[in-house]
A and B are shown apart, each in its own frame.
Chain A
Amino acid sequence: MELRLCSRLLISGSRFLRPAAAISTQRCRQLSSGSSEPAAAAVDEHYDVVVAGGGMVGFALACALGQSSRLSELRILLLESSKQKPALPGFPTSWQSTPYSNRVSAIANHSVALLDRLGAWQDITAVRVGRVKKMQVWESESDAHISFGSGGSSDDGKCVAHIVENDVLLEALRRRLPPTVQVRYGSRAESYSLPSSAEQDAVLHLQDGSVISTSLLVGCDGAESLVRRTMGGRFVSWDYKRMGVVATLELEQSEDEENNTAWQKFLPGGPIAILPLCRGQSSLVWSTTPSHAKALLAMDPQQFTDAINNTLWCDDSSKQSPWLRDLHQNCSDAVRQVGNFVSKVAAAAPVGVSYKQLPPSVVAVADNSRAAFPLGLGHAVQYTAPRVVLVGDAAHRVHPLAGQGVNLGFGDVAALTRVLEETVLEGDDIGNVRQLYRYETERQRQNVVMMAAVDGLHRLYATTFPPAVFLRSVGLTAVDAFKPIKNCIQSYVEG
């Protein structure tokens, strides 16, 4: 009964439908076929939990575990390979005057709730955070568009999402780490020895020669995770053959205009997104082909700004033949009328606006803010093995078009913390696979659905085939017009 929307991707959700499914001991042995059994080598230290990787998700997990009163007896270690940055005095106010970083993340409301519980959200808002009150999505091949959120001033009402710089988030989490959690900077594991059953500990061999054993190893080491590769399970992945170009932009805005709208335009090469940071400044995330990305990075700032403005303002719907355009217009009008009628009957509150708003003009790009990174999809078929669990990008990697990457990771953090608290409450071993499967099942149900949807959107908008363009634009108009469906999607995306 599995849905086959993206068949390879959904096969990868092995615990999708069966909760805490039985697993044979034979499969457990296969999982560690790539690694040796924990050797009889002397172990220097033992920790209950080792978090391998000090990114946003790794630090969030270490905070959550360290701050939990049920888990107060656990000895936790976080290993981060980069050197420790000296703490800037005067945080958060001293950061307010620094230039914006070009790596930002869209934080959904459930992630905001987690960061608030950890105490980091108030530090983040004290520095700076962009509020997305409205989001407009449209495409270059037709006039169809959809908008989410209700607009309004930045100070009141709910946000669709918040835009936070990755550095700010990381620093805020670092400051909320309880002193009981040990952190080792400049520390990287050279190899892992993972057991085939929970009767032995997981062992880490660090680059400096020390050996650490642990009851639970958490892999938060990113998309190229060594923990996942040592686990040896199946990993479904493909390269989108796209690069994400990021930059910080200056917009043309008057004094009384608020910058609280996110703009996303789908192009055949990939979507271009403008995310609000503060009045007059926004962050650019442009997914495009590698050759185009290289060209964009090589352009001088004025050419770059012109390229963005042309892309946002001009569209190719004039390339469509007239009869197709008329058919499209008639269908869209009909769908919109039906949708409005259904929405009235369903008494759904109006969300968004039905007319297409004009995107902003980009005036300049901040110096040294342009960069590019490759885009791909990845999903581990198994998140867990005896004494090991994967969290964040180590388990799943998505296209940034829906801004969900780090939000899925924060969802993993909340779920794993809850599962470990229940495990300790039941007096069970935290490395017990039966308990860790509950985390895997719960998260795969969320992650696989989201990844399939994002991948589906990417494929849907990558084509210029006229029937496909027609169907997707009528479909988009329909979703925009049928308010109950739009409300559903908006609440799912907001989290």
Chain B
Amino acid sequence: RRRVSKAANFRRSEQNRFFTVQANVDPSEVHKFSQLAQSWWNPNGEMRPLHQMNPARLKYIRDCCLSQFGPPKDLSKPLRGLHFLDVGSGCGLLTEPLARLGANATGIDASPEAIEVARIHAKNDPDLDSNELDYQNVTAESLVDRGETFNIVCALEIIEHVPNPEEFVITVSKLVGENGGLFISTINKTLKSYILAILGAEYLLRWVPAGTHDWNKFQSPDSISRMISKTNLSFHSSVGMTYDVFSERWNLNAHDLDVNYCIFATRKLLNQNPTVE
């Protein structure tokens, strides 16, 4: 029987004020995260797991950029010279560190409240230049319409919240420039992820509010790879992220993709045979 998630309750009470039906956006999901905007930057609030996950995600991003673009000239700014797009940036939890690491980072999100909080928070740090960090309340589709491309597109922890994942992957792949890359991170659809991410994180330990995730929307690495193969990108590597309860840190684990994982796909260069990984 179909499990009715709490997200469905939001759907009944909210109207879609900002987006037309063509956009691949679920207004109830947008609303759910807009409510959390004020507490997003509290490292001990509802977004605590995302705060804790940041070091691991950034490490994977840095390592993949190293292999894709070569070693950086300046060790203190390893992402300098790269244009990043953070799809579903929320309040900028990933976008700000990317800018601090030297990237020219653009964050987009469907929630105007989140974008507003992100802009205000960025002002706290005088070193975050507005030339390096930019937030826009637009969807990925409108960026495709504008013809914009980026060196790296990050779609982290977002694909499990959109109505049509296949279309989403095609859309974001169009935003990847030549020799660029795409990061997609999400939660695997396994029994282990149901026990840990839904039952454990949402109901038993209350690390995230109940109803944040819908297990039916989780995707396995294979299904993401299949979606990527339908675009002009090719799968490069993947890594799992496991949580160590004792040290309260997330670690990268190449073998355990059972719960959280991240995939890196690269744009094939023109006239190049796809490499076998």
Contacts and interface: CB of A to CB of B under 8 A. Distances in A.
A46 interface: yes
A428 B97 contact: yes
A377 interface: no
Given A72-B75, A72-B76, A199-B124, A427 B44 contact: no
A73 B102 CA distance: 11
A72 B78 CA distance: 12
Given A25-B42, A72-B76, A434-B43, A428 B247 contact: no
B147 interface: no
B44 A24 contact: yes
Contacts of A114: none
Contacts of B179: none
Which of A25, A199, A422, A427 has the largest count of B CB atoms less than 10 A from its CB?
A427
A19 B248 contact: yes
Interface stretch (B1-9, B51-59, B166-174, B256-264): B51-59
Contacts of B97: 426-428
A72 B77 CA distance: 9
B85 interface: no
Interface string B93-119: 000111111000000000000000000
Interface in B237-265: 246-248
Given A20-B248, A22-B44, A426 B55 contact: yes
Contacts of B75: 69-70, 72
**Which secondary structure characterizes the binding site on chain A?**
loop
A429 interface: yes
A386 to B, nearest CB: 11
A428 B76 contact: no
Contact of B58 (A70, A73, A426, A434): A426
Nearest to A74: B76
Interface size range of chain A in the complex = 20 to 34
A327 interface: no
A23 B247 CA distance: 16
B145 interface: no
Given A70-B76, A71-B76, A428 B100 contact: yes
Contacts of A425: 58, 62, 101
Given A46-B126, A426-B58, A428-B97, A19 B247 contact: yes
B124 A73 contact: no
B125 interface: yes
B8 to A, nearest CB: 32
Contacts of B98: 427
A189 B125 CA distance: 24
Interface residues of B, number: 26
Given A20-B248, A46-B126, A434-B43, A427 B51 contact: no
A70 B76 CA distance: 4
Given A427-B98, A434-B51, A73 B43 contact: no
Contacts of A485: none
A126 interface: no
A426 B54 contact: yes
A489 interface: no
A249 B59 CA distance: 56
B14 interface: no
Nearest to B77: A73
A198 B58 CA distance: 21
B74 A72 contact: yes
Nearest to B74: A72
Contacts of B62: 425
Contacts of B96: 427
Interface in A67-89: 69-73
A199 B122 CA distance: 10
A334 interface: no
Interface string A411-452: 000000000001011111100101000000000000000000
Which of B76, B247, B248 has the largest count of A CB atoms less than 10 A from its CB?
B76
Given A71-B76, A72-B76, A427 B100 contact: yes
A418 to B, nearest CB: 14
A27 B52 CA distance: 21
A70 B75 CA distance: 5
A427 B101 contact: yes
B13 to A, nearest CB: 30
Nearest to B42: A25
Contacts of A199: 124
B129 to A, nearest CB: 12
A428 B44 CA distance: 16
A198 B43 CA distance: 11
A73 B101 CA distance: 11
Contacts of A73: 76-77
A425 B58 CA distance: 9
Interface in B34-68: 42-44, 51, 54-55, 58-59, 62
A69 B76 contact: yes
A424 B55 CA distance: 10
Counting from the closest, the 4 A-B pairs by CB-CB distance are A427-B97, A427-B100, A427-B101, A426-B55
25 contacts: A19-B246, A19-B247, A19-B248, A22-B44, A24-B44, A48-B127, A69-B75, A69-B76, A70-B76, A71-B76, A72-B74, A73-B76, A73-B77, A199-B124, A200-B124, A424-B100, A426-B54, A426-B58, A427-B99, A427-B101, A428-B97, A429-B100, A432-B43, A434-B43, A434-B51
Given A72-B74, A200-B124, A215-B125, 19 more contacts: A19-B246, A19-B248, A20-B247, A23-B44, A25-B42, A70-B75, A70-B76, A199-B124, A424-B100, A425-B58, A425-B62, A426-B55, A426-B97, A427-B58, A427-B99, A428-B54, A428-B97, A429-B125, A432-B43
